Amino acid sequence: MNKATKLILGSLFACLNLSNLSYATEPTTCPTPQAIRAQGFDSILKEDEMGLGWIGIKSSANYRTNTKWAFMMVIGKVNEFRNAQQALNKARKLLTTLTLLDGPIKENDKYTCNYDYARDGKAEPIAQAQTPPFNLLKR
């Protein structure tokens, strides 16, 4: 994951996280890809402002770790899917290829873990877990 991609993810998480600023419990490990797959997603959003497209989000889960995390994965460009259900179906397939790249990495008052997954060469994969988690319902 390149630096620009990490900045985009950080910006998106910041936008989603403004209503839940708190300090994270220092995590000892990142969520495993298996734990993330088991939890799935809370919602699928279409994000046009930053040009990310369809995004799968799990707003809060402990993923068998010592703290709660949020997870976000870019699924594909807006025009790749007709609706959220199609994007969700693709997201579930992408989760089967998820691998941990690095983390936990402390960044200011949060910790992040970066993941890779197969995107069929269409775009650079963007997936990240963050603690403290955000709550989309507070937005």
Per-residue model confidence as pLDDT tens digits over 10-44: 555 554 443 344 445 689 899 999 999 999 999 99
Cβ atoms of 34 and 10 closer than 8 Å:
no
Q: What is the structure's pLDDT at 125?
A: 67
Residue 61 C-alpha from the chain's centroid? 12
Domain ranges of the chain: 3-138
This prediction has a pTM of 0.78
Burial (0-12, 13-18, 19+ Cβ within 10 Å), 136:
middle
pLDDT category of residue 50 using cuts at 50, 70 and 90: confident
Mean pLDDT, all residues of the chain: 81
pLDDT score of 129 more than 60: yes
Q: Which tokens go with 127?
A: 């997936």
Backbone angles phi, psi at 51, to 5 degrees: 75, 20
Instruction: Average the pLDDT over 39-64 and give the result.
Output: 90
